[in-house]
Chains A and B, each alone.
Chain A
Amino acid sequence: MNTIYLLFTVLFGGAILTFLLGKLSRILYYIVFLLTMAAAVFVFYAQIRIGDTVNINVDDMQLQWGLTAFGWLFSLMVLGLGLLAAIYSIAYMKGKDRLGYFYLHFLISIGAMLGILLSRDLVSFFIFWEIMTWASYFIVVYSGKDVQKTGIRYILFSAIGAYAMLMAIVIIYGQTNSISIDDLAVNYSTFSTSLQIWIPLLLITAFAVKSALMPLHVWAPGAYANSPMAYTAVFSGALSKMGIYGMVIVFVTLIANLPQGVIIRDIIAWLGAITAVMGTFWAIAQDDAKKLLAYSSIGQLGYIIVGVAIGTSFAMMAALFMAIMHALFKGALFMAVGAVERQAGTTDLTEVTGLIRKMPWTFIASLISIIALAGIPPVGGFVGKWMLYESLISSDHYLLVILIFFASTAGFLYCYKFLFGFFLGQEEKEWEHVKEAPVMMVVPMMLMAVMALILGVFPGILLKPVDVAMQSMGYAETYGHLWSMSVLFNEWGNQVMLEPLFYAIIIVFMVFLVFLVLKGMKGTRYVTTKDISTSGEIPLEHENLTFKGNFFQPFLRAVDPVMKRQIMTYYRQIGDGLEAFFDFIRRVYSGNGQTYAIYVMIFLVILLLLKDSLFG
């Protein structure tokens, strides 16, 4: 059997098998689920080669499935994150009910995401996109909390995006009679100018919804926060990247040759930058770790979109690198939050404190991931951010750089809040009982954090595939290797590494830290938190000296004017207005039989009066 068919059979068949077999015995859930994921990973990486295609005939259309280098790059996120999240979810979901339902939709959504990456024609793309949407929907509403609000918001915005995409697809089909993406790239210049502008706009709308670009982002915080953390890792790590995948394709194949394309690029880039800034602000304002990470994701995606929109090879490389890094560290962070949720029972940053000694591994994973998020060397996030800044400057987008840099700096605030909130601070009796998360939860987290670290030191591991992917999308190898565009990198043997200059800086810091530690070693006394006196008062036994509430209040007060106007209120007004209008319309059916009869007569009169203009 063709390997692509095999892949889908494994995933979708495995999904159904997990659901059915699990009803017999709980253990079977875990076994079949993990086997399916593992098998999928195996089939994908061992069997499917780039360039394999499968053609399926439906009616008079030809569906085409095949793997490109670009798709392969994104598949790393989908399958890598998927497998790790799967292992994590075994432990995370222990004891919860409706497991079959969760695993079923988990596997279906992974299968759909791979399907998107494997689609070489527009119809398959749309089909898999929609499957991914409803599969992820069912997991988002899994917990049953706030379903009508979060769930409907998610499906509504997804639908707006998806139907915009469908409209573009049918228009394309109507114009060219072909659904192949390659054909589209070739024939695109034959469309009329207005179509040439509308089609990418429609497509970008679809992808913007999934990557939570403003103003289409309002579904994201609720969806990310309310779905089980095991899935949110996949959601923010892989699913949102599907939007990025689509956007890159749109920008590279469609807009690249469009004269008005520059305007679209600028608009999207600015929207991305604003998203980055606002996402960061909202994240700072959050007290719930889940919401904080959700808004942070929105912000990070904003960075990536800026890179994609700018479109120079350097910017694209930065964006793609950041995308994969984001999958890694965000995945790890969501897993960490899930671990805390399971062990401590809540994710409220103002309540939980002092878990650093009780959950050391979680802390280390979070620490490394936060460092990646903040963009500090030697962890990988730094490489991505640096490349983004450099690319923006080298393409003269100075204002954007200022915004991005500002967002990045503000990002430090919520980074710290996250770490401080959970792990640091004075320990409370409430949290005495908290133990480290089970191994199956910790290992994936640590793996991802370590990967982030490694990629920070040897970014070449990732940059090489990115290079190949970008070349397959048509970016020429203008400088030999794309990464040599940056001052950051140096080749050592076969590996791309950070410039020695940066190593020097890093080593200096490390030496300094070690020096500090050692200096304090001799004759240092270990003190408890409460061994202090504040203005002559000695704190009481039960007092907690860690201040958690109203974190960053001065900052929030400063940015309040910007934060006050929420897009959600406008949406809500539109929604309410529409519902009121519909309510008005439905009064046509007044319930009085005679009225209906009169309608018939009125219709007759109208037709008789207009018969000449209606019927020739």
Chain B
Amino acid sequence: MEMKLFDIDIIEYGFFITAIALVLIGLYAVLIKKSLIKIVIGLSILDSGINLLLITIGYVKGGTAPVFSPSVIKDMPLTMENIKKISEGMVDPIPQALVLTAIVIGFGVTAVALSLVIRLYRHHQTLNIDQIKNLKW
């Protein structure tokens, strides 16, 4: 794989913007919002934004799915050069693998977070994070 500088097209541009926007929205929710549920939602949005960012990195303009299917091979002999040529038209699979993992991790964390929120609500009768400050200094 070659290094990419800012050689991106308009779709990729859009994806990047969306991803960063999601990250910022998530950060806003985590840092500014007071309700615990909103914070957890913010964390989830944050995860989505980062995942989108990751996938976008692997994007190849006009690329197809990274699978060597018959329609892609089209009777070409499988030499190293041919494989390289074909794979250049494919989207990079590695970020997709990373994102799969990250999504699952995010899901697990969200589950734990929500169960903690439930316990916190039972204990403090409030979801306001400013009031949950028993452990300080």
Contact = CB atoms under 8 A, between A and B. Distances in A.
Direct A/B contact, Cβ within 8 angstroms: yes
Given A586-B137, A587-B137, A592 B31 contact: no
A601 B133 contact: no
Interface of A: 586-587, 589-594, 597-598, 601
Given A586-B137, A587-B137, A593 B31 contact: no
B30 A597 contact: yes
A591 B34 CA distance: 14
Given A597-B30, A597-B31, A601-B31, A592 B129 contact: yes
Nearest to B131: A592
B130 A592 contact: yes
A594 B136 CA distance: 13
Interface string B34-74: 10000100000000000000000000000000000000000
B134 A591 contact: yes
B31 A590 contact: no
B137 A594 contact: no
Nearest to A592: B133
A597 B28 CA distance: 11
Contact of B137 (A591, A597, A601): A591
Contacts of A598: 31
30 contacts: A586-B137, A587-B137, A589-B136, A589-B137, A590-B133, A590-B136, A590-B137, A591-B133, A591-B134, A591-B135, A591-B136, A591-B137, A592-B129, A592-B130, A592-B133, A592-B136, A593-B129, A593-B132, A594-B30, A594-B31, A594-B32, A594-B34, A594-B39, A594-B129, A594-B130, A597-B30, A597-B31, A598-B31, A601-B27, A601-B31
Nearest to A588: B137
Contacts of B27: 601
Contacts of A591: 133-137
Contacts of B34: 594
Nearest to B133: A591
A601 B132 CA distance: 21
Nearest to A600: B31
A591 B131 CA distance: 10
B121 to A, nearest CB: 15
Nearest to A601: B31
A597 B31 CA distance: 7
Interface of B: 27, 30-32, 34, 39, 129-130, 132-137
A308 B135 CA distance: 55
Nearest to A589: B137
A283 to B, nearest CB: 45
A598 B129 CA distance: 14
Contacts of B30: 594, 597
A51 B31 CA distance: 71
Contacts of A586: 137
A327 to B, nearest CB: 49
A594 B42 CA distance: 12
A586 B136 CA distance: 9
A589 B136 CA distance: 6
B81 to A, nearest CB: 41
Contacts of B132: 593
Nearest to A593: B129
Nearest to B27: A601
- 10 nearest A-B residue pairs (beta carbon): A591-B136, A591-B133, A586-B137, A592-B133, A589-B137, A594-B129, A597-B31, A598-B31, A591-B135, A597-B30
Contacts of A597: 30-31
A596 to B, nearest CB: 10
A587 B133 CA distance: 13
Contacts of B133: 590-592
A504 to B, nearest CB: 76
Nearest to B39: A594
A592 B39 CA distance: 13
Contacts of A589: 136-137
A587 B27 CA distance: 24
A594 B127 CA distance: 13
Contacts of B39: 594
Contacts of A601: 27, 31
B93 to A, nearest CB: 31
Given A590-B137, A591-B135, A594-B130, 10 more contacts: A587-B137, A589-B136, A590-B136, A591-B136, A592-B129, A592-B136, A594-B31, A594-B32, A597-B30, A598-B31
A597 B34 CA distance: 13
A594 B133 CA distance: 11
Nearest to B134: A591
Nearest to B136: A591
A540 B8 CA distance: 114
B104 to A, nearest CB: 23
A601 B32 CA distance: 12
A589 to B, nearest CB: 5
A601 B26 CA distance: 13
A206 B32 CA distance: 53
